[in-house]
Amino acid sequence: MDQAFNEAGIQTHMLERALNGIRMYPVPADIRKLMFKVKRAQGVDIARSFCGLNDHRNLELSVKYAKEAGMISQAALSITYSPVHTVSYFMQVVDHIVGYGADEICLKDMAGVGRPAMLGELVKRIKTKYPEIIVQYHGHSGPGMSVASMLEVARAGADYLDVAMEPLSWGMIHPDVIAIQAIMKDAGFDVPEINMDAYMKVRSLTQKYIDDFLGYFIDPRNKQISSLLIGSGLPGGMMGSMMSDLKGVHQGINTTLKSKGKPELSEDELVVKLFNEVEFIWPKLGYPPLVTPFSQYVKNVALMNIIQLTSGKERYSMIDNNTWDMILGKAGKLPGVLDEEIINLAHSQSREFYTGTPQEAYPDQLDVFREEMKQNSWDTGRDDEELFELAMHDRQYRDYKSGAAKTRFENELIKAKEQLNKPELSVPAEKTALKVNSQREEKTDPDIKAILSPAKGKVYYNLFREITEPSAAGDPVNRGDRICYLQTNSYISEITSAYDGEMTEIVVQQGANVNKGDILFRIKEIKK
């Protein structure tokens, strides 16, 4: 595909998260290096690299590996708005990444909360100090400010603007190319004409893909613009998973409030409560820019705080290990200063702060994956692209090779279509109730049904940790009943029963770590 674009004279981009590669947690250096080699061989021209903490040390290897692979290195600034994220702060990062040899700079305004005037001043400072550097602006539409920002950065000397096209533009995506082209032409810029025949053809192809597959998994709120995002600074792309999280715990929060004689919360009130909690804890966590994966980390802490506070407990009593790595410095240097309360909490749990270079904490692993491929007689692929896929996403790759991933997707697609067509008979989209047979499920009794984990994560039977099991063997279970929660790095999901019947076996205990497809429970179905 990239080569086809190249033949048409179009340069292609790839995105990588520096220390995190293209995943939610850190990647060894040898795997990061292989990524650039593989993507360049596939025809990618430009490597856009960003560190979610703007730690230039994490970007140094990204610049090096991109240039060694023969790619254009575009180093990105993770833009946000806070007392510490000033033009001078960002220019210090620019000085380092230009010194490493970056060819271009991208202003990655992932939440669209960068203020237009500040962004314009930043571009002006970059172009004045480094006139040979290409500057590109990337801003999402979520809070509604990115159109103004595009005009400001263009007037300040930016060279490229990221745009999208219908049916995916606007909402939580980029502004549409037609609107931005009209604005830029009116402002006196020399911009190319749009081939409307080609636009409509691509629009039609994209709509077909949405109708066939993608549309079943897009939250309708992703098409909306919300100024509420300005205060929290959360990226609009998180709205889907965030709403799923909130719906998953909404019932539990209201049950607790009701038991305490307090008024229950509507969904909108809970959204505002979460945004307010993010605003409250963000400075205390050192102002990490709210971009993947750190936006998920901060959101998860805020959500768990709400749950704990509702039940009369203290904040920060449930923080996952990836978030602790961010707090302790293993992901990079936080832009701001940690609150004394967070520092004391770390010390009380005997956690040590990390001051070294983040990459050094994650030793090379590529040889281990190469040996796995050899033992399984798997082809490493052209230019080692199959080896790269295993090394970057090992669990997903093994599921792909076994066929489990395809089966799972097909079943999820069937389920999504059923929910859309028969909402009165389906489990709500924010809940996860699976009745897909796993290769690990015994088939001795056709009425015994397994409930499988939809993702890798940690199982909780009660987020308030007041009980350790949902029920005992023999207890009745109704279709749609919540039987546990699953906490992943990105979200909290409510697992519900897809059957009426009785619990026959609780396979995993409170706090257990599970993989996608693992059996959580067995239920004897009793048809009514």
Q: Per residue in 469-505, pLDDT tens?
A: 455 677 888 887 778 878 776 566 778 888 888 888 8
Contact yes or no for 479/431 (Cβ under 8 A): no
Confidence category of residue 439, pLDDT binned at 50, 70, 90: very low
Cα–Cα nearest to 458, from 412, 507, 515: 515
Confidence category of residue 198, pLDDT binned at 50, 70, 90: very high
Q: Are residues 203 and 245 in the same domain?
A: no
Q: Are residues 249 and 340 in the same domain?
A: yes
pLDDT at 166 (0 to 100): 92
> How open is the CA angle 363-368-370, to the nearest 5 degrees?
125
Q: Are residues 339 and 442 in the same domain?
A: no
Domain limit, last residue, from 161, 192, 223? 223
Q: Are residues 119 and 41 in the same domain?
A: yes
Per-residue pLDDT tens over the stretch 243-277: 767 776 787 788 888 888 999 999 888 888 988 99
Q: Are residues 72 and 48 in the same domain?
A: yes
Confidence category of residue 239, pLDDT binned at 50, 70, 90: low
Neighbours of 413 (CB within 10 A): 14
Q: Are residues 145 and 264 in the same domain?
A: no
Cα–Cα distance for residue pair 374/327, rounded to 1 Å:
38
Cα–Cα nearest to 336, from 120, 86, 115: 86
Half-sphere exposure of 280 (CA within 13 A, CB side): 13
Contact yes or no for 483/476 (Cβ under 8 A): no
pLDDT at 178 (0 to 100): 96
Q: Are residues 15 and 113 in the same domain?
A: yes
Q: Are residues 458 and 483 in the same domain?
A: yes
pLDDT at 99 (0 to 100): 98
The verdict on residue 408 lying in a domain is no
- Of the given ranges (5-19, 190-204, 232-246, 347-361), which has the lowest mean pLDDT? 232-246
Per-residue pLDDT tens over the stretch 73-86: 999 999 999 999 99
Q: Which helix (H) or strand (E) holds 121?
A: helix 116-129
Question: What is the rounded (10 degree) CA torsion for 489, 492, 496, 498?
Answer: -50
The verdict on residue 410 lying in a domain is no
pLDDT at 426 (0 to 100): 34
The verdict on residue 300 lying in a domain is yes
The verdict on residue 469 lying in a domain is yes
Q: Are residues 192 and 84 in the same domain?
A: yes
Buried b (16+ CB within 10 A) or exposed e, 247-257: bbbbebbbebe
Q: What is the DSSP letter of 172?
A: T
The more confident residue out of 492 and 104 is 104
Per-residue pLDDT tens over the stretch 164-182: 999 999 988 999 999 999 9
Structure tokens at 60: 């140094």
Q: Are residues 215 and 232 in the same domain?
A: no
Structure tokens at 430: 């924010």
Peptide bond into 26 cis (omega under 30): no
The verdict on residue 407 lying in a domain is no
The verdict on residue 18 lying in a domain is yes
Neighbours of 52 (CB within 10 A): 25
Cα–Cα distance for residue pair 528/480, rounded to 1 Å:
14
CA distances from 353 to 57, 166, 289, 340, 489 (A): 17, 46, 20, 14, 21
| Containing structural domain, residue 250 | 228-361
Rounded to two decimals, what is the model's pTM? Answer: 0.78
The verdict on residue 98 lying in a domain is yes
Q: Give me Rg for the CA atoms of the chain.
A: 24
pLDDT at 472 (0 to 100): 64
Per-residue pLDDT tens over the stretch 363-376: 999 999 999 999 99
- For the chain, report the end-to-end CA distance as a whole number of angstroms: 51
Domain limit, last residue, from 339, 361, 383? 361
Cα–Cα distance for residue pair 75/54, rounded to 1 Å:
10
Q: Are residues 196 and 213 in the same domain?
A: yes
pLDDT at 1 (0 to 100): 61
Mean pLDDT of 438-458: 72
Q: Are residues 288 and 270 in the same domain?
A: yes
Confidence category of residue 320, pLDDT binned at 50, 70, 90: confident
Mean pLDDT of 180-206: 95
Cα–Cα distance for residue pair 509/506, rounded to 1 Å:
7
Structure tokens at 433: 């109730």
Kindly report the CATH number assigned to the domain that includes residue 17.
3.20.20.70
- Tell me the H-state helices in 260-365: 267-281, 294-310, 321-328, 340-348
Contacts of 229 (CB under 8 A, 6+ apart): 111, 112, 113, 142, 143, 235, 236
Question: What is the rounded (10 degree) CA torsion for 121, 122, 127, 133?
Answer: -160
The verdict on residue 105 lying in a domain is yes
Structure tokens at 215: 């549309």
pLDDT at 434 (0 to 100): 35
Kindly report the CATH number assigned to the domain that includes residue 472.
2.40.50.100
Contact yes or no for 89/62 (Cβ under 8 A): no
Domain limit, last residue, from 223, 246, 276? 223
The domain tally of the chain equals: 3
Structure tokens at 33: 């290096």
Confidence category of residue 296, pLDDT binned at 50, 70, 90: confident
Per-residue pLDDT tens over the stretch 400-432: 999 988 887 888 788 777 766 654 333 333 333
